[in-house]
Amino acid sequence: MGVILSAAKNLPLLTNFYIQVPSAHPGAYPSNYFVEVVQGVIWALSHGPQWLLFHVIVGLLLFLWSLILIVLAIAARRRAWIITTILGLIGIMGAGFNSASFMNFGGQGFSSMLMSVGFLLAVISYAVGFYITR
């Protein structure tokens, strides 16, 4: 488990510093942001470099897992978990959309910073949920 967490922690650095996303790919410089985000993610899954592919897969799995956690929190009727999982989902979605912006708009540093802030929001939200409900 520690190896996975260590790799996941360094994944954004590997992707931001060592992966060169082509400036011309499906989804690049979009006119319709949400449609082009989907096209960019599909491109990254099918033709992206190895670390970008891994980064996208981890992000999508985190998104799906956050949805599952919300459903479980609602089913358990635990108010603290409902609030923290919703905040975690917001953080993951913020990180995901800014990750897509980073990829589609040529690697702007501001998108990378917002991606990190979204991930931090998610981690803090889940940590607070564990702390409150222990």
Residue-wise pLDDT for 84-132, tens only, equals 999 999 999 999 988 887 777 776 778 788 988 999 999 999 999 999 9
Instruction: Flag whether 59 is in a domain.
Output: yes
Overall number of domains in the chain: 1
Cβ(117)–Cβ(127) under 8 Å?
Answer: no
Nearest to 22 by CA among 43, 45, 39, 5: 43
- Lookup: tokens for 2: 């520690």
CB atoms within 10 A of CB 120: 13
Nearest to 103 by CA among 29, 32, 31, 35: 29
pLDDT of residue 5: 44
Cβ(8)–Cβ(58) under 8 Å?
Answer: yes
Which domain covers residue 113, as residue numbers? 2-15+46-133
